[in-house]
Structure 1
Amino acid sequence: MKSSRLRRILARSLFLTAAILIVAAGTANAQPAGLMAKVVVIGVPGLTWDDVKASPELTALVNQSNVGSITVKTAGPHTCPVDGWLTISAGTRAWGSVSDQPCGDLPAVTDGKVAGWQTYVDRQAEHHTGAPIGRLGQTGYPICGFGPGAAIALARTDGSVTNWQPEADRARLASPACGDAIVDAGALPLGEGRAEARKKVADLVADARAAGGWVLLVGVSQELADSHQEPLVAMQLPPDNGSRWLTSDSTRRPGLIQLTDITATILKGRTAAEVDPAGAEKAGPLDGSEIRFTGPVHTDADAVIENRLDADQRFEQPRPVLIAVSMTILAAELLALAWFWFTRSPRSRRTFVFTLLSQGGFFIAAFLSTATVWWRWPTPGLSLYCVVLGISAILAAVSQLVLKRYAFLGITLVAYLILLVDGVLGTPLQFGSMFADGPVVGGRFYGFGNSTFATLAVAALVTAGWAAQKLIDKSRVQAALAVLVIGGAAIVVDGRPGWGTDFGGIIALTPAVLLMAWLTWRGSISLRALIGVSVAGALAVSAVAFLDYLRPPDQRSHFGTFVARLLDGDVGDVLIRKLDMAAHYFTGPAGWAMLVGVVLAMLATVLPERVPFPAYRTFYSSLPMIRPTLLALSACGLVGMLLNDAGVTVPAIMTGFSLPLLVAHLVASEQPATVSPESHLVQES
């Protein structure tokens, strides 16, 4: 009878967790007033904010425009002009160039058809992009095109082009026959002649404004195949009510749009008479959203340009500095380990533990560094390097001083709380940090990325294990409920659309939390119960995704978009691309090394008696909650590796965060073999 009651309590708790996930689904920001009748898109491959700064004519446009940066990442490894124009054609990321080859010239238009069009169609199938190139041209809406790039953007699905001219024509642009227009201004020269080319771009903007309508000046691609994927220029003229920042629901970031937003903006609000349903509507969902504006009015062009240049630094520096910081911490750990290995002195022990804790602190510093706005400091790269190392060292020192050998609890608790707050606030700390270079690689623009999720998962599960350990002697039910509350909060923040918006994350974290709660409650788990836990997790995730799908298409997050593709039968290419991304990590020795390390770490949680370290074996059985916590970490990492496009990097990051903290605890314990099962983590600390 008592067992049946306990089952009902836990069952209700599990359903409550799923209900919280479902109710937490939010709505996107409302769209502003509609666009003008005519939209003129002027695309300039390689147009940077340095060009705007260097050009008096382009600088003069800043205070007359809503401005921002545009990320031009497409489906391939780099964005040549053909990739950019094909992406505008499809409304989703397309692949046009050949890998490991320089960007070539754009194809010519011969007899009213883009030369070699079938090659580009085949390339989408070859790389499983799912990009319906020709979507924009197939709408039947009267869009005029000028220049070779515009021919690609406006070609129909068979490559044929109408209403197109090889060069811009001011009279034609102003003609009623042009409902909208796309103009290829040509790539800017890399050396001599660039200044003259910038002036011609400004003159082209003036011609487009004279034609009436809404002018959008954007960079559409990088200049070279191997150039850095920095965000390029985006300007919209004239502003509706004062010059502000461009944004869209696809990025949810003031001052940032992406290439696919151009297609969505052109097609947004067109009536059935204007858009051929057989063309655009059957091509599948758009990846972009309508471009709009937000934020306060800006009146200082120089300040705006500097802001954009600072933003470039914010997105450019984290990846190389991440490597530098990692190598610095690793070198410090190896030196400290050598000192401790040969001397075994108290000072060398503390130093080695400090370096291990610093590695744990790095997973917090990667986010907290964003609050220092380091990209506005002199020498941004060096500033970021010093800030991250400084915060990591401070967190390690304070935790070591206050909590002694249980300093790891301080690190994980701080990480848990900071990421919960960051998620609720819309991830301002993650954006542009070392763990989310979305604008550079075209990755996640909002919500938690894979690295952030891995950090949150470790922090949540370890914190839940600590809380349950405090309660387990009093009541296993209360301990299990503590796991559900702490883990459930992480699931909600990680998965709620508009907060973490992390579909893959909650798929991995939900069953791990449920498994940990069950082990806390019962002490062991049968195959039948394991299947039940897995089904419960899958149902909770599916419910959230389906409710997100019920929202309007332009308000859906990754959850609802995936369901839409699944129902449309368009999910095959998505899954293949994700598998390809996961498999890509095994093209070099680093991926295989990560896999070996991850597998060994997981085996240590399942077969502790095989681990050749007595301190670990004693630790494993010293407290009731250690085994459930370690098994939950392994389960989360395993599911994340198998069902996430980041593949082995998810458990590798989890291991990189949790393993140094575990080793720090074992090394800091003077006599780890004498820890009694009755000890409590809080009492020890």
Structure 2
Amino acid sequence: MTSSARPRLVALALLLVLAVVPVLAGATEVGADPSPPVARKVLVISVPGVTWADLQDHDLPALRAVLADSALAGLAPRSTRPRSGPGDAYLTLSAGSRAATVAGVDGQVLGLEEEASGSVAGDIFRRRTGEAADGAAVALAWPGLERANARQPYGTELGALADALGDGGASIAAIGNADGLDTVGESYERQVGLAAADGRGVVGGGGALDPELLVEDPSWPFGVRLDPKAVVGELDRAWATPGPGVVVVEASDLARALRYRPLVDDERYQRMWADALTATDDLVGRLLASVDLERDAVVVVAPYLQAGDRDLTAVALRPPGGAPGYLRSASTQRAGFLTLVDLAPTFLDQLGISRPESMEGRPGLVVRDPAPLERRIDHLVELNRSSRFREHLLTPTSLLAVVGGALVVAAAIAAHANAWSGRARRAIGVAARVVLAVLPASYLARLLPLEDLGEAGALATIAGLAVAVGAVASVAGRGRPRSRRPLIVVLALMALVLVIDVVTGSHLSLSAAFGYSATGNSRLYGISNYSYAQLAAATCLLAAWLALVVPGRRGVGAAMAAMGTTILVLGVPVWGSDVGGVLAFTPAAATFWFAVRGTRIRVRTLAVGAGATAVAIAVFGALDLARPVDDRGHLGRLLERIGDEGLDPLTSVVHRKLVANLEVSTGSVWVLAIPVGLLLWWFLRQHPDRPLARIVAGFPTLPAGLRALLVAAVLGSLLNDSGAIIG
């Protein structure tokens, strides 16, 4: 072996160790129960609109009793919309994938012999579908619901839960009725029946959705409320069905209270909501009396909120025998968070029935924690608070960076064009570094209780940290008027903060302004799109600097080591798990390699870059597939679905990202940074004294870094769902 080859092999071995060790460790670090007990039956108690704050603010003894031995989580009630309503919530539950609805008609789930518009529901259903129904109820709007979902890029199969249960020898029933109208006419608000509908739109026997579940009470929303005796009687009948099964019982008084909110003042609504919670707690106590908690599983879930609310809702699983702690899933990769699509796989998992390939969600797993119920509820309330606060902080922090950057660029152009003094130019340089430092400061600020400071206080904290970073960086260049060290210090901090955070669990990224939040993002782990943009930019410029300051080939080697480390951080499943980032940054690294060595970009070099990208994706995909099924990130889950279903899941993902890309690219303040950057580029190239040429003369490796950065930005914008935010 030659002396020159040995270091390369050592470096390769080190990279493999760095990639594989965390993957192997990740299989055990989660702490989820490896083999949960199989339940005889699953009781799902739907409590629309309930958050963990409601458990703090109200005396609900029956709910607390079942929650004490349950695994808890904040639920992101997301369907094809950021926040679902009753129809798309229950359809998502029925499909295990994000579902769309047709508002106004989705609650028309009627018994076969129930009359509507002069006909019985069974006849109406047969006219609309051409099929005779053989169940207890039918979803009259089913053809329209199927069309609505066919237009969505999620490959959603409505009724997949009921079909999977049927194939597994189990049943499903729904009990509830949220009808109510304060005007003349009829109101059908029986969306809970959609949760139990099969792929034909037929709800099997054993449940009840009819008005016999209600009693008149003029003091309640719409003048009616649930009859708890009738509901419990229907549960007992459904529970007596032989074999395993799922019974979904909706606390429909809560659903009516949510719909009544726009019709009353806040004080009256709060009273009605409190009464509905008290009645629901009484109902829960009665329902649990029919359940064998040693053999049956209980799920308490709020599948949707009042329109306009953005809080996380409550979800809890009490498996047979109980298991206090938190819930997590492969979808969230975080204890204490679950998504709506995870519910159907969770029900199936509790019964030991395999999840259909069409289901996007993954089973909720118990992460045991012996902490008292109050402490766990308080923790989830704080997580929701942090998540909501991040949503409010994102725009002002973005404005701080974008507007600050625009002002610095304008000042820099004016200073150069008008020959301002050296002191003024140095001040502009300091300001530029402070603005750049806003990016890492937004993550470092999460070390502090920002929510307690308020929005203005949090923004001031981020700005103060940025000023401190800028001041420290300036010290690095003291005595050297044209030193690059201050800029390198800030860039290095940008990269290091993100790398260290990602490899230690992304704790700073959760609810950071440029990270992600459960109330605003569908992804809660790894590298966010904002983080990718920052890490890619910092790495490309740092690589150019390393290639300059480290002599000879060692400089290029050091630069490529930085590039390779970034690819690892982006791609390792338990770290960045960023498929789009790997697809965008691997070609950027290849571009840098060719550019810094003076190799012209030809078809062959493009093929090399594409091949390197394919190898990177294959390696990271294989590592993800090597993990337990319930721990896989979205690359592993995508490859798993491609293996089962062909290329349809891939085309669905591409379509979805393109749609989201266009929406975000036209609505984000970060889009304004693009013309600012182009203006600076034009000035540096076109000003009579050619400032860009002078910069390159003193920094000859800079063009290689800028080309790599351009590739990372363009591909990142195209391949991720944040669009021009990345560019």
Whether TM exceeds 0.5 here: the answer is yes
The reply to whether residue 389 of structure 1 matches residue 457 of structure 2 is no
Question: Counterpart of 1:678?
Answer: none
Opposite residue 325 of structure 1, the aligned amino acid is T
Question: Counterpart of 1:175?
Answer: 240
Opposite residue 109 of structure 1, the aligned amino acid is L
The reply to whether residue 298 of structure 1 matches residue 340 of structure 2 is no
The reply to whether residue 145 of structure 1 matches residue 174 of structure 2 is yes
SS at match of 1:440: coil
The reply to whether residue 413 of structure 1 matches residue 499 of structure 2 is no
Opposite residue 482 of structure 1, the aligned amino acid is A
Distance 1:82 1:515, change over 3 A: same
Matches within 5 A, 1:202-217: 202-210=281-289, 211-212=291-292, 213-217=296-300
Distance 1:584 1:426, change over 3 A: same
Question: Counterpart of 1:669?
Answer: none
Confirm or deny: 8 A CA contact 1:45 1:222 kept in the other structure.
yes
SS at match of 2:509: coil
SS at match of 1:152: helix
Confirm or deny: 8 A CA contact 1:95 1:129 kept in the other structure.
no
Question: Counterpart of 2:145?
Answer: 120
Confirm or deny: 8 A CA contact 2:329 2:365 kept in the other structure.
yes
Distance 1:40 1:228, change over 3 A: same
Question: Counterpart of 1:108?
Answer: 109
Opposite residue 89 of structure 2, the aligned amino acid is G
Q: CA deviation at 1:22?
A: 6.3
Confirm or deny: 8 A CA contact 1:72 1:229 kept in the other structure.
no
Question: Counterpart of 1:324?
Answer: 396
Question: Counterpart of 2:216?
Answer: none
Cα RMSD over matched residues?
3.3
Question: Counterpart of 2:519?
Answer: 440
Confirm or deny: 8 A CA contact 1:41 1:216 kept in the other structure.
yes
The separation in 1 between residues aligned to 2:476 and 2:94, in whole angstroms, is: 59
Question: Counterpart of 2:533?
Answer: 454
The reply to whether residue 288 of structure 1 matches residue 288 of structure 2 is no
Confirm or deny: 8 A CA contact 2:402 2:672 kept in the other structure.
no
* Farther off after superposition, 52-61 or 502-511: 52-61
Confirm or deny: 8 A CA contact 1:244 1:298 kept in the other structure.
yes
Confirm or deny: 8 A CA contact 2:327 2:364 kept in the other structure.
no
The separation in 2 between residues aligned to 1:331 and 1:595, in whole angstroms, is: 12
The reply to whether residue 76 of structure 1 matches residue 111 of structure 2 is no
Matches within 5 A, 1:6-21: none
Q: Work out which of the residue numbers 616, 619, 626 in structure 1 matches 2:702.
A: 626
TM-score calculated relative to the size of structure 2: 0.78
Question: Counterpart of 1:312?
Answer: 384
Query: Any unmatched runs of 5+ in structure 1?
Result: 652-685
The separation in 2 between residues aligned to 1:423 and 1:587, in whole angstroms, is: 29
The reply to whether residue 136 of structure 1 matches residue 161 of structure 2 is yes
Confirm or deny: 8 A CA contact 1:515 1:533 kept in the other structure.
yes
Opposite residue 470 of structure 1, the aligned amino acid is V
Question: Counterpart of 1:528?
Answer: 604
Question: Counterpart of 1:553?
Answer: 629
Distance 1:269 1:465, change over 3 A: same
SS at match of 1:69: strand
Q: Work out which of the residue numbers 317, 320, 324 in structure 2 matches 1:243.
A: 324
The separation in 2 between residues aligned to 1:119 and 1:84, in whole angstroms, is: 16
Question: Counterpart of 1:671?
Answer: none
The separation in 2 between residues aligned to 1:197 and 1:470, in whole angstroms, is: 69
Opposite residue 171 of structure 2, the aligned amino acid is P
Question: Counterpart of 1:193?
Answer: 272
Q: Work out which of the residue numbers 171, 177, 202 in structure 2 matches 1:160.
A: 202
The separation in 2 between residues aligned to 1:418 and 1:86, in whole angstroms, is: 41
Confirm or deny: 8 A CA contact 1:247 1:294 kept in the other structure.
no
Per-residue CA deviations over 1:242-296 (Å, capped at 9, x if unaligned) read 632232332122222221221111111645xx67xxxx63x5243222331333x
Q: CA deviation at 1:153?
A: 1.0
Opposite residue 236 of structure 2, the aligned amino acid is A
Distance 1:145 1:503, change over 3 A: same
SS at match of 2:439: helix
The separation in 2 between residues aligned to 1:493 and 1:552, in whole angstroms, is: 21
Identity of aligned residues (%): 23
Per-residue CA deviations over 1:364-406 (Å, capped at 9, x if unaligned) read 012111121323x2x4433422221121111111112223552
Confirm or deny: 8 A CA contact 1:494 1:506 kept in the other structure.
yes
Q: Which is higher, the Rg of structure 1 or of structure 2?
A: 2
Query: Any unmatched runs of 5+ in structure 2?
Result: 113-136, 177-189, 214-230, 262-268
* Farther off after superposition, 503-512 or 561-570: 561-570
Question: Counterpart of 2:52?
Answer: 49
Question: Counterpart of 1:480?
Answer: 556
Matches within 5 A, 1:260-659: 260-268=341-349, 270=351, 281=356, 283-295=357-369, 297-299=370-372, 301=374, 303-328=375-400, 344-345=420-421, 348-375=424-451, 377=452, 379-404=453-478, 405-406=483-484, 407-471=486-550, 474-476=551-553, 478-522=554-598, 524-549=600-625, 551-567=627-643, 568-569=645-646, 570-571=648-649, 572-585=651-664, 587=666, 609-610=685-686, 614-651=690-727
Opposite residue 333 of structure 2, the aligned amino acid is R
SS at match of 2:81: coil
SS at match of 2:698: coil
Distance 1:585 1:179, change over 3 A: closer
The separation in 2 between residues aligned to 1:249 and 1:415, in whole angstroms, is: 29
The separation in 2 between residues aligned to 1:134 and 1:96, in whole angstroms, is: 13
The separation in 2 between residues aligned to 1:75 and 1:86, in whole angstroms, is: 11
SS at match of 1:627: helix
The separation in 1 between residues aligned to 2:403 and 2:350, in whole angstroms, is: 57
The separation in 2 between residues aligned to 1:598 and 1:629, in whole angstroms, is: 16
Q: CA deviation at 1:220?
A: 0.5
The separation in 1 between residues aligned to 2:333 and 2:387, in whole angstroms, is: 16
Opposite residue 248 of structure 1, the aligned amino acid is S
The separation in 1 between residues aligned to 2:10 and 2:712, in whole angstroms, is: 20
Q: CA deviation at 1:151?
A: 1.3
Q: CA deviation at 1:500?
A: 0.8
Distance 1:373 1:289, change over 3 A: farther
SS at match of 2:723: coil
* Farther off after superposition, 346-355 or 81-90: 346-355
The reply to whether residue 223 of structure 1 matches residue 343 of structure 2 is no
Q: CA deviation at 1:452?
A: 0.8
Q: CA deviation at 1:115?
A: 1.8
Opposite residue 237 of structure 2, the aligned amino acid is R
State how many pairs are aligned. 624
Confirm or deny: 8 A CA contact 2:174 2:248 kept in the other structure.
yes
The separation in 2 between residues aligned to 1:399 and 1:63, in whole angstroms, is: 51
Distance 1:644 1:317, change over 3 A: same
